[in-house]
Chains A and B, each alone.
Chain A
Amino acid sequence: MFDGYTASELVSILAMQGFAGLILFSVFLLMALGLAIIFGQMGVINMAHGEFMILGAYMTYLTSHLVQDYAPGLFGGYFFLAMIVAFIAAGALGLLLEWALIRHLYRRPLDTLLATWGVSLILQQIYRSVFGAREVGVTLPDWMMGALSLSDTIEVPINGLFVMALTLVISGIVFLLMFRSSWGLQVRAVTQNRVMAGAAGINGRRVDAMTFALGCGIAGVAGSAFTMIGSTGPTSGQLYIVDTFLVVVFGGAQSLLGTIASALTISQSQSTLEFFLSGSMAKVFTLLVVVLILLVRPQGLFVLKVRKA
């Protein structure tokens, strides 16, 4: 499949596809982080995660219009405001969902899967009624448009760089939260042994609620980032949900490091293959390899060594 390309062309192709893969990786990772926190720490399968992401995207869309109408001078920076709005909106909806539905279903992961699928259907229809069935896109401020050219054949889009930087920052914050804060300690304690954690005075119910809200909030930010590289429709979230679940499972559900590694593997192979095969075959190939590896190594790439209760 390398016929007809010179060596320097191949390098450029690999670099460009590698960069496209990095952008895909960023979105995957942002989505998967929230999912991994919720699934890994609470054992809840949130099929509505994609819809939380879309909520963030719609919030960004709304914010961009509001800023454009009422404070056009601030348009260059609306994106930062939009991310905060997206985080709060998705997090609040997550908190509500946890209280209304999820907390009744702990320890029944397959049932959470079905119930949250129902939630995702309802959210999709709400989006369709509120925002219309057509896809919407946001206008990027001037400084985010354009591309940096590294050599005459290699160009990298600035918005892609921004998404990557954002992912880096968010992953950093999540790591700090999970491994350096007392709240993270509580989460990890509850994950490992709910009863003992309770005996040590940790309010497991509150930890669950906050974990779920945080995971959903991150999905909102992911949606916010997503608007920069694609347009948003009511059903866009569903396109990503299976891939993201595979990322989480492939990485080993309870390991955030594994999530990052598997998001990188999947997105890079997907985008590199995409150039040489057709897009759909690249996806088939990637998914197939992931499934085959999971057949051999069902616990995923990275396994947190925990004694099962």
Chain B
Amino acid sequence: MIGLVLFAVLILVVLPLGLDLFRLNNIGKYLTYAFVAVGLVLCWGLGGVLSLGQGVFFGLGGYAMAMFLKLEASSPEATAIQSTPGIPDFMDWNQLSALPWFWEPFHNLAFTIIAVVAVPTIFAFFLGAMLFRRRVGGVYFAIITQAIASILTILIIGQQGLTGGINGITDLRTLLGWDIRTDAAKYILYYVNGGLLILVILAAQFIKNGKIGRILVALRDKEDRVRFTGYDVAAYKTFVFCIAAAFSGIGGAMFTLQVGFMSPSFVGIVPSIEMVVFCALGGRLSLLGAAYGALIVNYAKTSFSESFPELWLFAMGALFIGVVVAFPTGLAGLWQQYVQPLIGRALTRRSTAAPAGPAAPAPGE
């Protein structure tokens, strides 16, 4: 709990005070990945279900939001020079003369907000129910989710007229008439994003500490035994996969709002695997660790690839290897194993009267 408060103070007070708007906006962008990383802690760290397709859910949420914003930016007045005014510009370029049916409902903000959460969740439910019922897990699950990430990317890029193709959906301006490109809007969106992230972490903590969390850990370690005890293993896995997808969708929508566009380069295999590394570096068992992981890796990526573009891939590669081989529990694990005991010892030495607190539990493998 103290950790969460510290995190909230850091992202909601310290960073906005210490950084200029450009950098703060960047941090906001990194924090949208933290939604995905937190979801991965639940489904991968706790549940042992590694999804290499989280970019899909991030993208679905992001595209849902982008479609709403794009429709708003494509009012008949704003697109009067097009051959068919009132439809997004890229459709006009691709000789579409009518809005595709699945774009229609995105005129409505309430529908869009529901879709941001519901579309990734329903998709994850369908996928999870199918796969986990048939006891597909581990590597097979990872490869199938990866294939789905690949399918969706090819589809988005290929259907240029419907999706904006490789450029994505760009030139987003207003949300219900509120200009999202102004400085004030950027600050507000940053705080909304940070607040949502805290809420998501709280929700994840609730799941993690509750009965569901313990069953997930149990089935991660001995799935058959949990099944024989009478639990519906597939249902628990599907549930946690859906939750992770919903979180990712929210992250994607906030990404669109803060960055002002959405494109297939945040959907495919490479971004999806990078998202796993945010989680792995921070600590696949720690919700806050994962959030810090997203922040640290992305910050490093931005500042590193600016000055040493060719070294970045080496560093990223080494990060993957190091996180897996040397410290599988990530930074959070290092913290719990080495730093926390030190602080604990220092505290007990100072006040010998206070009983020594229980040692930090070593994170289980």
Contact = CB atoms under 8 A, between A and B. Distances in A.
Asked if A pairs with B, the answer is yes
Interface of A: 39, 43, 45, 101, 104-105, 109-111, 113-115, 117-122, 124-125, 128-129, 238, 242, 245-246, 249, 278, 280-281, 283-284, 287-288, 290-291, 294-296, 298
A245 B317 contact: no
Interface of B: 50, 52, 130-131, 134-136, 138-140, 142-144, 146-148, 150-151, 154-155, 157-158, 269-270, 273, 276-277, 280, 310, 313-314, 316-321, 323-325, 328
Given A45-B139, A109-B139, A115-B324, A122 B318 contact: yes
A118 B321 contact: yes
Contact of B154 (A120, A125, A283): A283
A172 B280 CA distance: 41
Given A118-B318, A238-B269, A284-B151, 6 more contacts: A114-B273, A117-B320, A121-B314, A121-B317, A278-B158, A288-B151
A111 to B, nearest CB: 5
A295 B130 contact: yes
Nearest to B312: A125
Nearest to A120: B317
Given A114-B276, A246-B147, A125 B317 contact: yes
- Most chain A CB neighbours (cut-off 10 Å) among B130, B154, B277, B320: B320
A227 to B, nearest CB: 23
A118 B139 contact: no
A120 B270 CA distance: 12
A125 B151 contact: no
Query: By DSSP majority rule, is chain A's interface helix, strand, loop, or mixed?
Result: helix
A250 to B, nearest CB: 10
B323 to A, nearest CB: 7
A39 B139 CA distance: 10
B135 A298 contact: yes
Nearest to B148: A291
A128 B311 CA distance: 11
A178 to B, nearest CB: 21
A118 B320 contact: yes
Contacts of A249: 140, 143-144
Contacts of A295: 130-131, 134, 144
Contacts, number: 112
Given A284-B154, A288-B151, A295-B134, A105 B324 contact: yes
Contacts of B130: 295
B277 A128 contact: no
A124 B316 CA distance: 12
Contact of B143 (A43, A120, A122, A245): A245
A51 to B, nearest CB: 11
Contacts of B269: 238, 242
A119 B322 CA distance: 11
Contacts of A120: 317
Contacts of A288: 151
A113 B317 contact: no
B307 to A, nearest CB: 16
A101 B325 contact: yes
A296 B130 CA distance: 8
Contacts of B134: 295-296, 298
A284 B149 CA distance: 11
A284 B143 contact: no
A121 B316 contact: yes
Contact of B320 (A115, A280, A284): A115
Nearest to A288: B151
Contact of B158 (A117, A121, A280): A280
A298 B151 contact: no
Nearest to B328: A111
A126 to B, nearest CB: 8
B328 A113 contact: no
A104 B317 contact: no
Contacts of A122: 313-314, 317-318
Contacts of A45: 139, 142-143
B216 to A, nearest CB: 16
A45 B151 CA distance: 21
Contact of B139 (A101, A105, A113): A113
B308 to A, nearest CB: 11
Contact of A119 (B50, B146, B158, B317): B317
A109 to B, nearest CB: 5
B146 A242 contact: yes
A283 B320 CA distance: 29
Contacts of B317: 118-122, 125
27 contacts: A109-B139, A110-B50, A110-B139, A110-B142, A111-B324, A113-B139, A114-B276, A114-B324, A117-B273, A122-B313, A122-B318, A125-B310, A128-B310, A242-B143, A242-B147, A242-B150, A242-B269, A249-B144, A281-B158, A283-B154, A284-B158, A290-B147, A291-B147, A294-B136, A294-B144, A298-B131, A298-B135
Given A105-B325, A111-B328, A246-B147, A118 B158 contact: no
Contacts of A110: 50, 138-139, 142
